[in-house]
C-alpha cells in the first residue's frame, strides 16, 4: 500500500506487463495498457496491475510505443527537486568509483541504467553533451541540467557549458521536435562557450571532440578500455583498422608500438578527422588513412598483408526485423578478415547493436571461422566501459560485444 496520497494518473496494465515490471524491466508498451486516466505527454503516472497492486511510478510518452517508463518502485518517494538531485549524485558517485582518473571524459548518465529513462549525458573535459529521447526527461531537463552542472562544479569539476544534441529522428516518436544548441546556464553565472570543440585525452591520446557535429553526443566513449586492450597487442604489428571513424583504434594501436596502421572509413570527413588526430598526436608517420568501402576493400587484399585486423562496424541493425541481414554483414567481414590473417595473426571484432545478442554474435563468429578454415583462440571477451553500466534486468543496456582472438 502507498503511504503517500498522490494524484498521479493511473495506468492499469496487462499481466504480462506486470510480470515484466516485477522482474525489473522499466517499460510498459502501448498495447499493454488496459486503462489509463487522461494526462499530458511526459507526465508522471502510477502503474497498477489488473488486481489493483501498485507496480511503480513512471513517465508517460503518449506518442511512443513505450507508453510508460517506470523509474521508481518506492511508494514513499516524493518527486521533488531533492529526489532528482539525489539520483544525479548517485550517478556521479558511481562514475567516480569505477572510472577513477578517467572521470573527466566519460558518460555520466546512461538512461535506464541510471534510472533516467531516455536521457544521456556525456562529459568531454569542460563540456557536457546531452541527448533527451523521452517526453518525460524533456519536461524534467530544466531541473536536471542546472542541478547536474551545480553538482559537478561543487565537486571541483571545471564544467563550462552543456550542449543539447537533440537532432535525432527518435525524438519525433515521442512527439518532440529535433534541434541542437547550447543549454542556457546564465542562472548559474556561466556564459555560453565560444566553441563547441572540446579537447580530451583518452589512453594518453589527444582528441578534439565536436559536440555540435560529432557522432551521437560527439565521440564514442564506450570502447575506451577495449582500445587499450588493442594497444597492448599492437607492438611491431601491421594493423588494419576497419570502420575507423575518428581513428581511435588506429591511434591506440600506433601508440602501442604498431609498425604500420592503415585506418579505413567510407567517409571522407571521418578520414580527414582521423588524419588530423594522428598529426596532433605525432603519429602521422605510422597511421595512413584510406577512404574506402570495407566490404569492397577486404576482398582486394592479399593474405598476410596485415597481421592484426580490427573490425568496429556501425550497428548493422537497429531493429529485430533486420537482424538476419545484419548478421550476414557481420559474417562477411569477419570471414574475409580471418582469411586475410596469417596463422598466429590477431583479430579484434565487435558489434554495438543490442539486437545482435552475445549468443547470436558468437554463433556468427564460429560460422565465419568454419568458412575461413581457421580456429579462434580467444584472448579476451569484453563489453562497454563501466561508465555505460549494464542493468541485468534491462537487456537493452547490454549492447557492446568485443572479442580479441588469435587466428590459429
Alpha-carbon radius of gyration of the chain: 23
| Alpha helices by DSSP H, 100-223 | 135-154
C-alpha to C-alpha distance for 265 and 141, rounded to whole angstroms: 36
Closest CA to 262 of 279, 246, 282, 247: 247
Contact 317, 325 (CB under 8 A): yes
3-state secondary structure at position 293: coil
Identify the sign of the CA torsion 389, 391, 392, 396. negative
Instruction: Count the Cβ atoms, other than its own, within 10 Å of residue 80.
Output: 9
C-alpha to C-alpha distance for 200 and 181, rounded to whole angstroms: 20
* 380 membership: H or E segment, kind and range: strand 376-382
Q: Which residues are catalytic?
A: 352
Contact 129, 94 (CB under 8 A): no
Contact 197, 156 (CB under 8 A): no
Grid coordinates representing 329 are 554483414
Q: Residue length, the chain?
A: 408
C-alpha to C-alpha distance for 285 and 93, rounded to whole angstroms: 41
3-state secondary structure at position 384: coil
The set of residues, in sequence order, having a beta carbon less than 8 Å from that of 332 and lying 6+ positions away, is 295
Grid coordinates representing 80 are 521533488
Residues 390/255/210/133 CA torsion (nearest 10 deg): -10
Beta strands in 175-250 (DSSP E): 179-182, 197-202, 205-210, 238-242
Amino acid at each position: 500500500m502507498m503511504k503517500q496520497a498522490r494524484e498521479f494518473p493511473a495506468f492499469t496494465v496487462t499481466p504480462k506487463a506486470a510480470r515484466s515490471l516485477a522482474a525489473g524491466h522499466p517499460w510498459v508498451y502501448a498495447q499493454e495498457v488496459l486503462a489509463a486516466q487522461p494526462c499530458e505527454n511526459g507526465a508522471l503516472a502510477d502503474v497498477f496491475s489488473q488486481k489493483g497492486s501498485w507496480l511503480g511510478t513512471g513517465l508517460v510518452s503518449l506518442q511512443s510505443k513505450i507508453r510508460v517508463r517506470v523509474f521508481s518502485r518506492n511508494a514513499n518517494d516524493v518527486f521533488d527537486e531533492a529526489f532528482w538531485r539525489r539520483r544525479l549524485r548517485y550517478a556521479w558517485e558511481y562514475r567516480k568509483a569505477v572510472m577513477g582518473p578517467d572521470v573527466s571524459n566519460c558518460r555520466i548518465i546512461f538512461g535506464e541504467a541510471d534510472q533516467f529513462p531516455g536521457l544521456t549525458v556525456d562529459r568531454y573535459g569542460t563540456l557536457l553533451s546531452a541527448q533527451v529521447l523521452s517526453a518525460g526527461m524533456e519536461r524534467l531537463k530544466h531541473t536536471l541540467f542546472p542541478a547536474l552542472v551545480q553538482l559537478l562544479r561543487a565537486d571541483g569539476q571545471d564544467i563550462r557549458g552543456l550542449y543539447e544534441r537533440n537532432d535525432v529522428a527518435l525524438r519525433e516518436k515521442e512527439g518532440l521536435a529535433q534541434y541542437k544548441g547550447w543549454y542556457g546556464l546564465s542562472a548559474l553565472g556561466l556564459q555560453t562557450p565560444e566553441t563547441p570543440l572540446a579537447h580530451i585525452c583518452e589512453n594518453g591520446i589527444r582528441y578534439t571532440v565536436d559536440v555540435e557535429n560529432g557522432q551521437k553526443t560527439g565521440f564514442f566513449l564506450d570502447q575506451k578500455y577495449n582500445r587499450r586492450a588493442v594497444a597492448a597487442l599492437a607492438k611491431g604489428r601491421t594493423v588494419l583498422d576497419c570502420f575507423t571513424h575518428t581513428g581511435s583504434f588506429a591511434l591506440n594501436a600506433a601508440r602501442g608500438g604498431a609498425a604500420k596502421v592503415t585506418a579505413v572509413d567510407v567517409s571522407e570527413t571521418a578520414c580527414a578527422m582521423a588524419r588530423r588526430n594522428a598529426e596532433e598526436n605525432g603519429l602521422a608517420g605510422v597511421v595512413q588513412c584510406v577512404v574506402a568501402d570495407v566490404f569492397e576493400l577486404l576482398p582486394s587484399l592479399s593474405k598476410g598483408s596485415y597481421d592484426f585486423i580490427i573490425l568496429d562496424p556501425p550497428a548493422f541493425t537497429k531493429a529485430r526485423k533486420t537482424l538476419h541481414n545484419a548478421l550476414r554483414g557481420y559474417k562477411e567481414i569477419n570471414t574475409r578478415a580471418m582469411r586475410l590473417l596469417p596463422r598466429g595473426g590477431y583479430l579484434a571484432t565487435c558489434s554495438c547493436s543490442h539486437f545482435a545478442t552475445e549468443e547470436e554474435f558468437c554463433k556468427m563468429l564460429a560460422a565465419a571461422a568454419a568458412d575461413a578454415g581457421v580456429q579462434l583462440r580467444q584472448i579476451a571477451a569484453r563489453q562497454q566501459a563501466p561508465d555505460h553500466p549494464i542493468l541485468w534486468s534491462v537487456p537493452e543496456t547490454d549492447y557492446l560485444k568485443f572479442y580479441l582472438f588469435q587466428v590459429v
